[in-house]
Chain A
Amino acid sequence: MSRFTRATDLAVFTIVILALWQCLYDYAGEVAITAPMATFRNAGDLLVKPEFWPNVGATMLAFAYAFAISAVAGVALGVLLGVRRFAGEVAEPILAAIYTIPKVTLYPVMLLAFGLGMSAKVAFGVIHGVIPIVLFTMSAVKNLSPTLLRTVRVMRLTGWQAASTVIVPAILPEVISGLRVGFSLTLLGVLIGEMFASQRGLGFLIINGINGHNVRMMTAVTLIVVLFAVTANSLLLALDRHIHHHR
């Protein structure tokens, strides 16, 4: 596909979304949602306000911790369960079941266990994000071609050498895909965490906007969050495709 058609598609796409949004606004009115242009203006106003940034900082800090923990623990656990076949077979359905339960229900447990504040948000992000990373990594390790493993043995590579020169490069594309899914879910977890019980952060601003009928604030923060999520996801997706392509 040429770069030109892709740019056209993106432009058409953006215009359609904005038009739908405008229609929604015309239908529902000022009590539910603000108009697209006004929202962009409000979002711009928010971005230059000094009291906005501590909230961004709180969300980003919680998100960074949660994602770092999810990524490290997820990849480590995934590799372990992939290498130990039997343990993997025991664990996979359990993990899949945990993945499908509504984790919001566990929120009170997190709060009771970690208290109000940063650690509860981080824990909530981790329980959302870690499982897809484990599952993707595990299936990548399990599907490693046996030839590669035999090569490792023939060449008498040490564990570290095998990991750094063969196994990691071989599973990297799937791990990146897993990290992309984990990234989105961790962000979701942190934001939901902030919506329920927090004094700070973007999720808190949204729920605060709702409770105080501050539609402008709510829509503007929602826009900022969505733009951030979509941008981050597009970057990771580009990386993902780049790596898959260059294999």
Chain B
Amino acid sequence: MIDEQVLDGLHPMDKLLRADRIPHIWCPGCGIGTVVYSFLSALIKSGLDLDKVAVVSGIGCTGRAAGYINLDSFHTTHGRALPFATGLKLGNPELKVVVFSGDGDLISIGGNHFIHAARRNMDIAVICVNNFTYGMTGGQLGPTTPIRAKTTTSPYGNTEHPFNLPYLAAASGAVYVARWTSLDARRTERAIGEALAKKGFSFVEVIAPCPTLYGNMNKMKTGLDQMRFYEENSVIRHGAEPKDVDITLNGQIIVGKFVDIEKPTYLDLRDNIGSIV
């Protein structure tokens, strides 16, 4: 295996990537590529049959991920990654369905789908790359933008309360909730591995830098500035109450595994419909 690598001079992840499309379109310093690496690496380590893994993405910067991953990958309409994934799972319960999308796609446009997929406890692993803004459309204010953060549509600072994604997921019924930053590549990999192994709706939020838009408006002009901010301000607190893990503009980012519980999934309940008392 080592010799093969030496001979072709390819990146070891190229076998799971559509390598002809790399370099990808993400900006220099964008953290989504790191999350894709962590995901692919976790997928290889999980030992799942790769023919039975489907990756579903919505629209947006992170929505491009499905186009770069060389598995059964689907690029769906805006916000509809989760309903598509639900249908996929119902149609073929053998599949391991992973939704890989951004905060704008999953939480704002697809917000209702998100809470209902979590409520039903569909057996889906959701990886949400949170960059606090709508990147592809030009850096507008999103539902995760922290209070006082500047964006192109809030040039004097945001005045809306943002969503606390782990709290939203946990309250809606997710059985696994974790948050990491893209700097914690190895911990992200482990969390995604756990989410893939978990039966039920598992949710991993990964905070990623967006130097071109969000960072640029908020005094962090390069991806490295944002990574340094994560390095200095992220605090690992496993098992923290999800309601206490709000993100503020310059405050601490609490990361870790917040929820890991067992609960019958939608398919379990459907298949045992006669035996439920």
A, B bound: no
Which residues from chain A sit less than 8 Å from chain B, CB to CB?
A: none
